[in-house]
Amino acid sequence: GENVEQHPSTLSVQEGDSAVIKCTYSDSASNYFPWYKQELGKRPQLIIDIRSNVGEKKDQRIAVTLNKTAKHFSLHITETQPEDSAVYFCAATAYNQGGKLIFGQGTELSVKP
């Protein structure tokens, strides 16, 4: 089955700096890669996703890149703000898995003012 590894487990940046979180996956059949943000005491919520027919996707200050050959995908946050502080999870699945997402271990991002 699918296995997703996420690094780093914690990340501390200064406000305005960029943050990068990386994930690797094992199942070459995986073709959907979402990122979820979980604020303290809240439920995880989708912030951006990418499908395997695309190499990069941007939404304002966040972007995701995918390298299918290397089985890597990354989340990039530019111009970080204190409200970006949260736990971020990557995940992967294949369409034939019916939405059964396998998650990475999570990255706790702290943005210091």
Q: Which one of residues 20, 32, 63, 94 is an interface residue with other proteins (CB under 8 A)?
A: 32
Residue 26 binds to other proteins (criterion: CB under 8 A): no
Of 31, 48, 52, 53, the residue nearest 97 (C-alpha): 31
Q: Which one of residues 64, 102, 109, 111 is an interface residue with other proteins (CB under 8 A)?
A: 102
Residue nearer to other proteins on the CB measure, 19 or 102? 102
| Pairing state between β 107-112 and 10-14 | parallel
Tokens of 11: 């990340």
Residue 33 binds to other proteins (criterion: CB under 8 A): no
Residue 25 binds to other proteins (criterion: CB under 8 A): no
At 96, phi and psi to the nearest 5? Answer: -80, 0
